[in-house]
Amino acid sequence: MKATSLPLVVTMGDPAGIGPDITIDLWRRRAQLDLPPFAVLGSPTLLAERAKLLNAEIAVSEIDQVSDVLSQAEALPVLPLENQVLAKPGKPDRNNAEAILEAIRRAVDLTMSGKAAAIVTNPIAKAILYDAGFGFPGHTEYLAELAKQHTDEAHMPVMMLAGPDLNVVPVTIHIPLRKVPEQLTTDLIVETGLTTSCDLESRFGISKPRIAVAGLNPHAGESGSFGSEDLAIIAPAIAEMRAQGVNAFGPLPADTMFHAEARRDYDAALCMYHDQALIPAKALAFNDTVNTTLGLPFIRTSPDHGTAFDIAGSGKAHSGSLLAAMKLAARMAAHQRKQRHVGD
C-alpha cells in the first residue's frame, strides 16, 4: 500500500448490503491495486464472516487506533463499533441503525481531530435509517450537521459525482421531483456554483474551473415557452456567479450537454435536480464514478452506488467505485497537504 501521512477511515455502511463485500474484495487485492492505507469502522466479526461466505482468504484484525494501520499489513484493520451489528446479507435490519450512524460519526471525529486523512463511506439504505428515526435525507446532509457540531458554523454541503470524463453537481438533491421548481432559487444555484468552483480549485487542482449550468425545462425553456425558471431563476444566477468571478455559462439544454464533444467544454455540470445530474454520470461510468461532498471542512468520498441488497454476499458486487472513492480521497488529501505546505 502507498504511504500517505495519515490513513483513510472507511465506514461499514449498511452491513446487510455490499459495503462489506467490496471492502473485502479491495483488501484481498490490495497489493496489485496500490490502495492507500485505511481502517474500517465496523464489526470485525461480521467482516470475517462475510469474507468466509465470499471464499476470500483474508484475516481481519481489531485495532485500537487509526495509526495502528500503518504498522500492520497482514490483516484487514477494523476499529470496532460500540453498537452491536447483526446482519444477514440482503436482509436489512433497522436494529443496525445505531451502529451504521456510529461509524459515520466516528469517521468525522477521527478526521476532524486530525487522526485520519479523509472519510470514505460505504452505502447506507436510507429507508432503514428513517424507520429508526434518522432525520436527514442521506450522508450528504448528515455530514453537514456533524461538521456544524464540530465547528459551530453552518456548512452548505454540495454533492458532486466525479467520474473519469464527467463531474456533475445536483443543485437540489434528495427531494421529490414536484418540489424542485419551488425549491430552486437563484441564491441556491449561486451558492452551489461558488462552492463547486472553489472546491474544484482547492481540492482537485483545477484552475478557474468551467461550470456549465443546465436549464430546468426542455430546451432550457425555449425562450420561456416551456417554463419560466430558466430565464427567471437560472440565468440571473449565472450572471451573479460570473460577477463573483466564477467561469459559469448557460443555461444549456440538458439533453445536449452531456455528449462527448460537449463535455470537453466544462469541468463540472451544475444540474437542477438529482436525476438530471446522476443519470448521465452513472450511465457513463457506473463502476468508476465517485460521490464526493464539497463545502465541508473535511474530505468525504463514497461509491456512486447503493447497498445493492439483491447481490450482497453473492460475490457479484463490483468494487471499482469504492476503489475510485479511496483513490480520490487520498489524492484530495495529498493535494490539500501540499497546499498547506505551500501556505506555511
Ligand X SMILES: NC(=O)c1ccc[n+]([C@@H]2O[C@H](COP(=O)([O-])OP(=O)(O)OC[C@H]3O[C@@H](n4cnc5c(N)ncnc54)[C@H](O)[C@@H]3O)[C@@H](O)[C@H]2O)c1
Binding site for ligand X (CB under 6 A): 18, 123-127, 139, 291, 302, 305-308, 310-311, 316-318
Shortest approach of ligand X to residue 306 CB, angstroms? 2
Instruction: Tell me the three cell numbers of residue 150.
Output: 464540530
In the sheet with 290-294, reading across from the earlier edge strand, the strands are 59-62, 75-80, 38-42, 8-11, 119-120, 300-303, 290-294, 158-162, 167-170, 268-271, 210-214, 247-252
Shortest approach of ligand X to residue 220 CB, angstroms? 28
Enumerate the H helices of the chain as residue ranges: 19-28, 30-33, 44-53, 97-112, 126-131, 139-151, 180-183, 186-204, 229, 235-243, 260-263, 274-285, 320-343
The nearer residue to ligand 4TP, 177 or 232, going by C-beta atoms, is 177
* Residue number of the CB atom closest to ligand X: 306
125 binds, among ligand 4TP, ligand X, none (CB under 5 to 8 A by kind): ligand X
Give, as ranges, the residues between 79 and 138 that touch ligand 4TP (CB under 6 A): 138
81 binds, among ligand X, ligand 4TP, none (CB under 5 to 8 A by kind): none
139 is in an annotated binding site: yes
Shortest approach of ligand 4TP to residue 242 CB, angstroms? 28
The nearer residue to ligand 4TP, 63 or 270, going by C-beta atoms, is 270
The C-alpha angle with vertex 185 and arms to 234 and 237, in degrees rounded to 5, equals 35
- Taking a C-beta distance cutoff of 8 angstroms, is the pair 170, 274 a contact? yes
Shortest approach of ligand 4TP to residue 278 CB, angstroms? 5
The nearer residue to ligand 4TP, 96 or 186, going by C-beta atoms, is 96
- Asked if residue 278 binds ligand 4TP (CB under 6 A), the reply is yes
150 is in an annotated binding site: no
User: What is the DSSP pairing of strand 290-294 with strand 300-303?
Assistant: antiparallel
Say how far apart CA 173 and CA 178 lie, in whole Å. Answer: 13
Q: Which residues pair with 211 in a beta bridge?
A: 248, 268
- Count of residues touching ligand 4TP (by CB under 6 A): 7
The nearer residue to ligand X, 30 or 126, going by C-beta atoms, is 126
The nearer residue to ligand 4TP, 278 or 284, going by C-beta atoms, is 278
Shortest approach of ligand 4TP to residue 140 CB, angstroms? 3
Cβ within 8 Å of residue 134, ≥6 positions away: 97, 101, 126, 142
**Chain-centre distance for alpha carbon 157:** 11
88 is in an annotated binding site: no
Say how far apart CA 278 and CA 176 lie, in whole Å. Answer: 15
Reduced to 3 states (helix: H, G, I; strand: E, B; else coil), residue 91 is strand
- Asked if residue 291 binds ligand 4TP (CB under 6 A), the reply is yes
Say how far apart CA 277 and CA 268 lie, in whole Å. Answer: 10
Letters for 132-171 (x = contact with ligand 4TP by CB under 6 A, - = none) are: ------xxx-------------------------------
- Asked if residue 304 binds ligand 4TP (CB under 6 A), the reply is yes
State the distance between the two ends of the chain, measured CA to CA, in whole angstroms.
28
282 is in an annotated binding site: yes
232 binds, among ligand X, ligand 4TP, none (CB under 5 to 8 A by kind): none
The Cβ of residue 62 has, within 10 Å, a number of other Cβ atoms equal to 13
Binding site, annotated residues for substrate = 139-140, 282, 291, 300
Binding site, annotated residues = 139-140, 174, 219, 274, 282, 291, 300
